[in-house]
Amino acid sequence: MTVGAVNPLPFGPANSQDIAIVSFSSWGPTNDGRVKPDIVADGVDVLSCGSSGPASYITLSGTSMAAPNVTGSLYLLQEYYAQKNGGNFMRAATLKGLACHTAFDAGNTEPDNGCY
């Protein structure tokens, strides 16, 4: 699953015009025509832990900031699924399908470059 970055939406998207993939993020499609990224998340001015000390924080931008956001959310889904299914996790394709088909779509009628 590939993750793209969008500008911050602190209260979530109210409509499709709120979602804009930032210039440094991949816009897709791939050379063989696949739609990428699969999903997008906040990737601009994200507060993260820093390396200068145990209480250090920094603000960074990039798909490397959007991907952990998506990863953490997907793991929470897996954890909930496991609680309901005897400790078993969903298959990767099931998890990807769940994430992509329940995300807020940016509103294009044809395949586009990610959901939020």
pLDDT in tens, 37-58: 889 999 999 999 999 999 999 9
pLDDT at site 70: 95
pLDDT at site 110: 60
Q: Which residues of the chain have pLDDT under 50?
A: none
pLDDT at site 112: 56
- The model carries a pTM of 0.81
Q: Could you tell me the two tokens for 74?
A: 């997907």
Q: Could you tell me the two tokens for 39?
A: 């999903």
Task: Please work out, in degrees rounded to the nearest 5, the angle formed at the alpha carbon of residue 7 by the alpha carbons of 81 and 24.
Answer: 100
pLDDT at site 17: 79
pLDDT at site 2: 92
pLDDT at site 103: 84
